Amino acid sequence: MHDPTLTVLSGTGLSKAFGKGGKAVQILHGLDIALPRGALSLVKGPSGCGKSTLLAILAGLTAPHAGTVDALGARLWAMKPAARDAFRLKHMGFIFQGSILFPALRAHEQIELVLGHMGIPARQARERAMAALADVGLGPRAALRPDALSGGEKQRVAIACALAKQPRLIFADEPTSALDTENGEMVSRHLRRLASEHGVTVICVTHDDRLSPFADRIYHMRAGRIDRIETEVAR
């Protein structure tokens, strides 16, 4: 499903500074990036180079000062905020380091809550949630609350949630960094499968070299730009 000729998410001329006036610090300097459909792409680079900022801009969460983002053919930052929120809910999934779960909700309820916001009827939401949890090997643990789940299992609930939404784009920020070898590898395999088997375009910011063998592309960031791209890394 990985189609290097078809770009589904791109940023062009992206600039971003934090702070005002003489104290403003420029983080992104006219950065260009184009992500192919159905690929697992990593963004790597030194701490503070702007990786998370780039991810937030591409996901419609942080506005750039200049430049454009095209997601699935739509110009993200030209949309009204409510339309951008609706677009994000429908088309994008998110997986973060130590993804936050609601303490009071069972694993399947965490997912059903999100699907409910998308307007999916309760019965269908339950079916999708259970199928997604089974997909990440958590079928037998679907009724547990976060305090009964390990760090790796919580991260798999977050992946199941992203999967159950059936989004076209998934954004992950350091999804494996807090995990031990076994769980880090399991999460890496799931990200790989999201791209290969579900055709999702996955962009993942990471310092974790363990993810590299699973990736199709690695974008290396330096000084607020993409400095180098490694292609066809996986397999």
Ligand X SMILES: Nc1ncnc2c1ncn2[C@@H]1O[C@H](COP(=O)(O)OP(=O)(O)OP(=O)(O)O)[C@@H](O)[C@H]1O
Contact residues toward ligand X (CB under 6 A) are 18, 27, 45, 47-53
DSSP assigned state of 132:
H
CB of 2 to ligand X, least distance (A): 25
First to last CA, the chain: 15
Across the chain, the runs of DSSP E, i.e. the strands, are 3-18, 25-37, 40-44, 66-71, 74-75, 92-96, 169-173, 201-205, 217-222, 225-231
CB of 52 to ligand X, least distance (A): 3
CB of 62 to ligand X, least distance (A): 8
Q: Going by DSSP bridges, is the β-strand pair 225-231/217-222 parallel, antiparallel, or unpaired?
A: antiparallel
Token digits for 82? Answer: 């409510």
Task: Rank residues 135 and 208 by Cβ distance to ligand X and give the closer one.
Answer: 208
Token digits for 233? Answer: 């890394």
Task: Rank residues 62 and 166 by Cβ distance to ligand X and give the closer one.
Answer: 62
Task: Rank residues 52 and 166 by Cβ distance to ligand X and give the closer one.
Answer: 52
Task: Rank residues 27 and 163 by Cβ distance to ligand X and give the closer one.
Answer: 27
CA distance 174 to 33: 19
Task: Rank residues 31 and 170 by Cβ distance to ligand X and give the closer one.
Answer: 31
Residue 48 Cα to chain centre, angstroms:
19
CB of 107 to ligand X, least distance (A): 28
Helix, strand, or coil here: 11?
A: strand
CB of 71 to ligand X, least distance (A): 19
Task: Rank residues 130 and 191 by Cβ distance to ligand X and give the closer one.
Answer: 191
CB of 226 to ligand X, least distance (A): 13
CA distance 124 to 136: 19
